[in-house]
Amino acid sequence: MNETATVAAIAVEATRAFAQRRFAEAAAGYERCIALMPREPAFHFNLGTAREKQGELSRAVDAYLAAWRLNPRDARLALFAGAALEASGRREDAAILFSLGDDIDLAVRRAKDRPDFDPEIRQRSATADRVMREHLTQLHDAAVSAYEREAAATGGGSPDVHRVRNAIWVQTHDRPFKYLTPGQQPSLLYLPDLPAMPIVPRERLGWAAAIEARTAEVREEYLAAVAAGAALSPYVDAATRGPIWQDLRGKLDWSSLHLYKVGAETPFAQMFPKTLAALEAADLVRLEGRPVELLFSRLRPGAHIPPHFGTENQRITVHLPLIVPGECEIRVGSARHRWREGELFAFDDSYEHEAWNRSGKDRVVLIFQAHHPDLRPEERAAIEHAIGAREHWIRSRRVPA
């Protein structure tokens, strides 16, 4: 009998022992399989399930993680390893592993709601969802408290940041909540105590005129960059999920030229010194000193951006219209607006919004993020502190030892 046949025979016996609840025998059989074929993740996974049934959680975790390292794209392994970590009291490690699995496959947290899924998968999915919600909500609370302590230590007294403490990370909040304003549903971060305004009155933006005065320079830089070969990319990436994006996914009908994206500078930024200089006057949202988002947005003739919600309500989205051929319109909530070249338009994109270009030429606007005008300086700082803590946790995640 060759080695492959030998391993197969041992695996059959181990699986039979597992089905008959002879878990120690099953574990011994899978260990023999691993000794002969150490790089087969299924044997490590099966060993983990046998060890877990024996109550040997630490050894089960070791086996699951060995399987994960051999096959890190199998989100099911995150479910099993994370649940074993949580059961053994290693809650933060469990949250890390569950979140890494969630990055790969949203079913890690959504399988719990699928009656057609295996009951054990659904139970582990419910554990993953609960552990991630509890950990990330506690992380937010701890970050706000840390900011309060640091602010008080500098001699400024205790800052009033209760609106930030009450903020809701929508996808990971640990308690039920309701959106308070009809038509407003931020998908990531929600400050329910912040005054809601779908369209931001221009008089609330003291820096608007200074930006508008530079419209011609910004437009000239954009046109020069495109003429020099700067290529726009589909705004809706081909891998974007969700049926509403089907008509725009991977297409140039709605395209962008990013100078900054999620706080990271792109190679195009150096082509726009006048644009960056002009925006020094604006109340930009920044991440570690860099604009969190700055881009040129092009909408081709006949294109339609479908109704959708933005991610956060503590920021506003600002458009500087550069090229508006006519018959170009945006709806925010129940309000409709037609862009006019050189006239800033600011709105809260956590309201449902959509846009059209019904003309025969391209529409181009410069887009950036500014702070909600009702936020106080200490609240802005507390939000940045909380977002920074969350980003640090995400960047620091590693598969537990």
pLDDT at 82: 96
Distances from the Cα of 349 to the Cαs of 273, 308, 381, in angstroms? 27, 9, 21
pLDDT at 157: 79
Identify whether 282 is part of a domain: yes
pLDDT at 1: 54
List CB contacts of 113: < 8 A, sequence separation 6 or more: none
Identify whether 95 is part of a domain: no
The DSSP secondary structure of 7-21, one letter per residue, reads HHHHHHHHHHHHHTT
Helix (H, G, I), strand (E, B) or coil at 46: helix
- What is the span of the domain harbouring residue 246? 202-371
Regions of the chain short of the pLDDT cut 50: none
- Residues pairing with 328 in the sheet: 357
**Whole-structure pTM value:** 0.91
Beta carbons within 10 angstroms of residue 75's beta carbon: 20
Identify whether 262 is part of a domain: yes
Q: Which two tokens stand for residue 293?
A: 């988002």
Task: Give the rounded distance of the alpha carbon of 225 from its chain centre.
Answer: 30
State the alpha helices, DSSP H only, in 55-118.
57-70, 75-87, 91-104, 107-110
Identify whether 225 is part of a domain: yes
Say which amino acid occupies 250. Answer: G
Write out pLDDT tens, residues 5-27.
Answer: 899 999 999 999 999 999 999 99
Identify whether 234 is part of a domain: yes
Identify whether 311 is part of a domain: yes
Helix (H, G, I), strand (E, B) or coil at 37: coil
Identify whether 163 is part of a domain: no
Write out pLDDT tens, residues 195-239.
Answer: 999 999 999 999 999 999 999 999 999 999 999 999 999 999 998
Say which amino acid occupies 40. Answer: E
Give how many domains the chain has, as a whole number.
1
- Write the CATH number for 357: 2.60.120.330
- Tabulate helix, strand, coil % of the chain (nearest 5): 50, 20, 35
pLDDT at 4: 85
List CB contacts of 296: < 8 A, sequence separation 6 or more: 222, 232, 256, 257, 259, 322, 364, 365, 366, 367
Identify whether 119 is part of a domain: no
